[in-house]
Amino acid sequence: MDWQHWQQRLGQRLSQWMDDPRAYWGLFLASIMETLIVPIPIETILLPWMVARPKKLWRLALVALLGNLTAACIGYALGAWAMNQFGDQLIQLFGGQAAFDQFDQRFSDNGFVAVLSIAIIPIPFQIAMLVAGSTGYSFVLFVLASLLARSVRYFGLALLVRFAGDRAREIWRRHERVMKLVLVVLVAAYLLYKLFGWWTGSG
Q: Which domain holds residue 143?
A: 3-200
From residue 97, alpha-carbon distances to 84, 87, 89, 104, 142 in Å are 15, 10, 10, 10, 21
This model's pTM is above 0.75? no
Query: What does the pLDDT look like over 11-43, one tens digit per residue?
Result: 566 566 777 777 888 889 988 988 887 666 787
Count of domains in the chain? 1
Closest CA to 119 of 72, 167, 174: 72
Identity of the residue numbered 70: T
At residue 177, the pLDDT reads 58
Cβ atoms of residues 75 and 31 within 8 Å: no
